Structure 1
């Protein structure tokens, strides 16, 4: 079997050639799948996550594509570290013009159980970490947009931002923050040539479910996996790649992606 590299792929099949993409939460799930998709589409890719071993394995997996890929271990809750990585990525790959802001955690449970450490962890990662990534990379996005290039900030939210799921109050609130923030940023940054989009996935088969500690929530998620075909990480990756490949004048503000059988 012959393995094609990026150089072997026709240019019309590599619509993101010349783009420099950053992915947070890149070590697994939607982040890792999006790294594969963007690299195949011709982008240079910077992988950011906390688990260095996973990042190193992904870099090795992407090597046959011929794409330029770098990896940096990063906890996005550390603003200074995020700023330093942003500067380093620019040195390695060039000015960043695509950010997939994807790091996050889901820890549902009844509010009456008072799992305050889990509340704080979700806020720290889903809200504060998101803002740290924005703070670190938006200056490069604005620079790219004002120079006449295509620039994208794509944030991962959830259908929980819109719908009601008992036990998911804090997680849902963090994702509602992501969705509303993105709408407002689109109005602010669009005038400077930066597109802002939110992806709101339904239930997707990723590691998020494995972090859940509440037994009732675990049972509900397990039942969903048995009764419907869940979204796969590559489904979301294809949406990110599609958004980034649209003409510069087109900004899909909010994309909700649902499993066909999910009723919520």
Structure 2
């Protein structure tokens, strides 16, 4: 079994109510990890936790907003109270809100910055002592950040989204210089098209249609297929760090 060394680990997954975050949480739990599910939608989190438990896994739904310091701090307390320190953090929460810069949608710019960049910083910082402690005890410790190929590929009307994902990619590389010497692995994953709710967040009918047409032209990975990439990465021997992965549908170039 390729992921057998996930058993007994304690994982925190943000954005766990749907899409990539949900798929990662379900897969990790299916291979023996205790998984704390962090997201804003309580009802949806409960459904995901129930699905995991029905399959014999362990899941803790934690309503949390990664854009809010107090909410993240409360989530850490809840995770510690139920599961103890975490040794695996997957930052999968994200929003994609495309508009031309000339539209000056400052509300959307701020939401993407707060979620896609500052949210990763908040959650990583909040669990950093756990991760360093796990590594010091000789256990495997991981940070996995879900970025996007939008970090380095140019898409019209996606300037701010692309900038936030470029920040996540750069942040991941710099974090590795801080955590790697302390035996905490940092992995940056840049997916191409993935079946998720991101497109549903787009409120511009034309832009949503364009994304759908591009996705239909090349196909999209399922969230479960990308979760498989994450699970493979964090199940490698602790001395092996797959630091940067670009995962694309075969037809996407």
Shorter-chain TM-score bucket reads over 0.9
Equivalent residues of 1:79, 1:136 under 8 A apart: no
Structure 1 residue corresponding to 2:209, chosen from 202, 206, 219: 219
In structure 2, distance between residues paired with 1:126 and 1:213: 18
Which residue does 2:52 correspond to in 1? 62
Q: CA RMSD in A?
A: 1.3
CA distance in 2, matches of 1:121, 1:135: 20
Q: TM-score, normalised by structure 1?
A: 0.93
Deviations 1:93-136 (A, max 9, x none): 12200000111100011111111111111111111111111121
Shift of 1:40: 1.1
Structure 1 distance, partners of 2:250, 2:2, is 30
Write the mapping of 1:142-181 to structure 2, written as runs, cut at 5 A. Answer: 142-181=132-171
Provide Cα deviations, 1:203-248, integer angstroms capped at 9, x if missing partner.
1110000001233421221112322221110011101111110000
1:84 aligned to 2:107?
Answer: no
Q: Which runs of 5+ in 2 are unaligned?
A: none
Task: Report the equivalent of 1:74.
Answer: 64
Moved >4 Å (runs of 4+): none
Q: Which residue matches 1:7?
A: none
The answer on whether the counterparts of 1:14 and 1:40 sit within 8 Å (CA) in structure 2 is: no
| Equivalent-residue separation in structure 2 for 1:242 and 1:87 (angstroms) | 29
Structure 2 length-normalised TM: 0.97
In structure 2, which of residues 18, 26, 32 is the aligned counterpart of residue 28 of structure 1? 18
Point out where structure 1 has 5 or more consecutive residues left out of the alignment: 1-10
- Number of equivalent positions: 253
Counterpart secondary structure, 2:35: strand
- Residue 239 of structure 2 is aligned to residue 249 of structure 1: yes
Q: In structure 2, what is the equivalent of residue 259 of structure 1? A: 249
